[in-house]
Structure 1
Amino acid sequence: MIFVTLGTQDKGFPRLLEAIEEAIENKYIKEKVIVQAGYTEFESKNMEIYKLLPMDKFDDYMKKCDLLITHAGVGSIMSGLKFNKKIIAAPRLEKYGEHTNDHQLEIAKEFAKEGYIICLEDFSSLGDIIKDIDKFKPKKYKSNNDNFVKLVENFIDKN
């Protein structure tokens, strides 16, 4: 099962769901897809879409999923890392009205550079990334504040 979470940002993020829908239609995705869409309006016959999930249900889907596809918010990425999931993080971008700036792109690139996630910059490549997802061996995240602080400090130092 693939779990998709778009966060609780009050701006829509249909661009990611359109890419997932296309990957399903092109048979790159064959398993069940469950989406917590937040404020993104999207209709699909191929995905189970929920606006917001109670935390226990969210955690249950997170634990059970084989792959997490998420917006590149730190909270969502950290949730996936906590459960040792393979993560494809898709940054919300300002130019599409998905966020107020491009900090998610910078965050996703940093996590990807460290080997924790795959950063999805080119949404048209989602199908190929999913096709090869078994080859991705994410670095195990050690849950301690020192690692997180170091990652954040590296991000801040570069900006």
Structure 2
Amino acid sequence: MAERPGPTKRLFLTVGTTSFDRLVDAVDQITFLDKLAALGFSRFIMQIGKGEREPRVASHAGVSVEWFRFKPTLDDEIRAADLIISHAGAGSILEALRAQKRLLVVINDALMDNHQTEVAEAMHDDNYLTTATSPAPDVLLTKVEEALVRPLDPYPPCDRSKFYEAIQRHTGVPPVGSDDTQD
């Protein structure tokens, strides 16, 4: 009787709609894929945005690598991921956290007036995610492992009640979707 393969893990990396070539370069390395294999990953999917740097390694050590620039939605990749590595864009962070996924946010230190640093650090301080202050390969190798084992708090669900209250206060009409519109 043939043995069934054990559970495999998926890593999803997203840089959003811009570019973050230093991050793509850092993960497109044999040493990074060796680390992923040692941690039980078999699939690595990258969304590379507008960057000039395209991944060169297609697979290594049992880890298959796929990449794309853009898709209409990242829902499937986020849902299937065991770990997400993301730039520090607020939209990307919130998508991953709302899906209750483990998240490693890599700060792009090349950005000027980097508000993303503040967002990432605040979410890290609230214990929702792990951060890496640099896309340097040695930093990422350590931070991926930390992101998998660090005890995190679940991100709270969205509370739209204040929004609904504001709509009702200004219009006098309960908005569709609020509790006041149910039959």
Shorter-normalised TM-score: what interval? 0.7 to 0.9
Secondary structure at the counterpart of residue 67 of structure 2: strand
Counterpart residue number, 1:141: 155
Unaligned runs of 5+ in 2: 1-9, 59-64, 161-183
Counterpart residue number, 2:21: 14
Counterpart residue number, 2:71: 53
Counterpart residue number, 1:81: 97
User: TM-score normalised to the size of structure 1?
Assistant: 0.78
| 1:27 paired to 2:34 | yes
Q: Is the 8 A contact 1:23 1:29 kept in 2?
A: no
Unaligned runs of 5+ in 1: 147-159
| 1:39 paired to 2:50 | yes
- Structure 1 distance, partners of 2:67, 2:139, is 23
- Say which one has the larger Rg: 2
- Structure 2 distance, partners of 1:26, 1:8, is 24
Counterpart residue number, 1:153: none
Counterpart residue number, 1:121: 133
Q: Is the 8 A contact 2:45 2:66 kept in 1?
A: yes
Identical aligned residues as a percent? 25
1:52–1:110 distance in 2 versus 1, CA, 3 Å: same
Counterpart residue number, 1:156: none
- Structure 2 distance, partners of 1:80, 1:25, is 22
1:102–1:23 distance in 2 versus 1, CA, 3 Å: farther
| Paired residue type of 2:153 | K
User: TM-score normalised to the size of structure 2?
Assistant: 0.68
Q: Is the 8 A contact 1:84 1:140 kept in 2?
A: yes
- Structure 1 distance, partners of 2:101, 2:12, is 10
Per-residue CA distance 1:88-133 (angstroms, 9 max, x = gap): 001223xx3xx34211111111110110011111333111222343
Q: Is the 8 A contact 1:23 1:127 kept in 2?
A: no
Q: Is the 8 A contact 2:27 2:33 kept in 1?
A: no
- Structure 1 distance, partners of 2:152, 2:67, is 27
- Structure 2 distance, partners of 1:23, 1:142, is 37
Q: How many residues align?
A: 138
Instruction: Report the CA distance between 1:23 and its aligned residue.
Output: 6.7
